[in-house]
Amino acid sequence: MSETEYGLEDVIINQNVAILIDGNNIERSIHSITKNNNSMLNFDTLIPKLLDNRGLNRLVYFREGKNISSKLRERLHYNFHGSVRPCHKSADIPLSIKATQLATKVDTIIIMSGDSDYIELVRHLISEGVRVEIAAVENTTSQMLIDEADYFHAITSEDWFTLNPKPQKKGTRKKTSRKTTKKD
């Protein structure tokens, strides 16, 4: 049967979605798969794929540390009105707080992490009537987390790219000083 026979062309999807990203977890997963620390998510293709005709209400990228790429910050802001939040330690607590704050404002929360620390958060959000989806690299994701969620989006090699480091120009290498001691 085709979509017209089912009447699917008349279905209007009207869901508000929040995407909350545990940046360190996703980055470590991709780096472990690619064996390359220059691999990163391609948000321009991944976010529309995750939304799948639903509306984006909020996108927040949580990352441990203060050294967050200004290019990433600008790209998420301009393309998705997203924000980047540095975390003091891990993203678990700030992401969980944001998820509970958003629970009454959205229909679906997509958590981008494979960390089993989010199992209780997923259970809580579902009990509050929120659809919870997990997006992560499958072989680095807790099976319990996948089982608790309403849906699992596997992040695959189609969803990331690897930057080739720029070759250093001759003569621009930093000189290292060596301390020498005089023998008497």
Please check whether residue 172 lies inside any domain of the structure: no
170 or 77, which is more confident: 77
Boundaries of domain holding 22: 18-162
Average pLDDT value for the chain: 86
10 or 129, which is more confident: 129
Domain count, the chain: 1
Q: Is 16 exposed, middle or buried (0-12, 13-18, 19+ CB in 10 A)?
A: middle
Please check whether residue 60 lies inside any domain of the structure: yes
Tell me the mean pLDDT in the region 18-28: 93
Please check whether residue 177 lies inside any domain of the structure: no
Q: Does pLDDT of 129 surpass 60?
A: yes
Please check whether residue 105 lies inside any domain of the structure: yes
Please check whether residue 111 lies inside any domain of the structure: yes
We report the CATH number of the domain holding residue 99 as 3.40.50.1010
Q: Does pLDDT of 60 surpass 50?
A: yes
**Residues listed for the chain:** 184
Please check whether residue 129 lies inside any domain of the structure: yes
Tell me the mean pLDDT in the region 98-106: 97
- DSSP per-residue string spanning 11-64: -----EEEEEEEHHHHHHHHHHHHT-TTEEE-HHHHHHHHHTT-EEEEEEEEEE
pLDDT in tens, 153-169: 999 999 999 887 666 66
Q: Does pLDDT of 183 surpass 70?
A: no
Q: Does pLDDT of 180 surpass 50?
A: no
Q: Does pLDDT of 56 surpass 50?
A: yes
12 or 59, which is more confident: 59
- Beta strand pairing call for 160-162 and 39-41: antiparallel
Please check whether residue 93 lies inside any domain of the structure: yes
* pLDDT score at 3: 56
Please check whether residue 42 lies inside any domain of the structure: yes
Q: Does pLDDT of 146 surpass 80?
A: yes
